[in-house]
Chain A
Amino acid sequence: GAGVSQSPRYKVAKRGQDVALRCDPISGHVSLFWYQQALGQGPEFLTYFQNEAQLDKSGLPSDRFFAERPEGSVSTLKIQRTQQEDSAVYLCASSLGSRSYNEQFFGPGTRLTVL
Chain B
Amino acid sequence: AQSVTQLDSQVPVFEEAPVELRCNYSSSVSVYLFWYVQYPNQGLQLLLKYLSGSTLVKGINGFEAEFNKSQTSFHLRKPSVHISDTAEYFCAVSPYDKVIFGPGTSLSVIP
Contact = CB atoms under 8 A, between A and B. Distances in A.
Q: Which of B43, B90, B92, B102 has the most chain A CB within a 10 Å cutoff?
A: B43
B99 interface: yes
Interface stretch (B12-20, B45-53, B65-73, B75-83): B45-53
A51 to B, nearest CB: 13
Contacts of B45: 105-106
Contact of A41 (B32, B42, B103): B103
Interface residues of A, number: 27
Interface string A28-50: 00000101000011111100100
A83 interface: no
A107 to B, nearest CB: 6
Nearest to B96: A100
B98 A45 contact: yes
Contact of B102 (A42, A99, A103): A42
| Dominant secondary structure at the A interface | loop
A90 to B, nearest CB: 12
Nearest to A108: B43
B100 interface: yes
Given A41-B104, A42-B104, A101 B46 contact: no
Interface in A68-109: 91, 93, 99-101, 103-109
B26 interface: no
Interface string A5-28: 000000000000000000000000
Interface of B: 4, 32, 36, 42-46, 49, 51, 90, 92, 94-104
8 contacts: A4-B43, A33-B98, A43-B44, A45-B98, A100-B96, A100-B99, A104-B99, A109-B43
Interface of A: 3-4, 33, 35, 40-45, 48, 55-56, 58-59, 91, 93, 99-101, 103-109
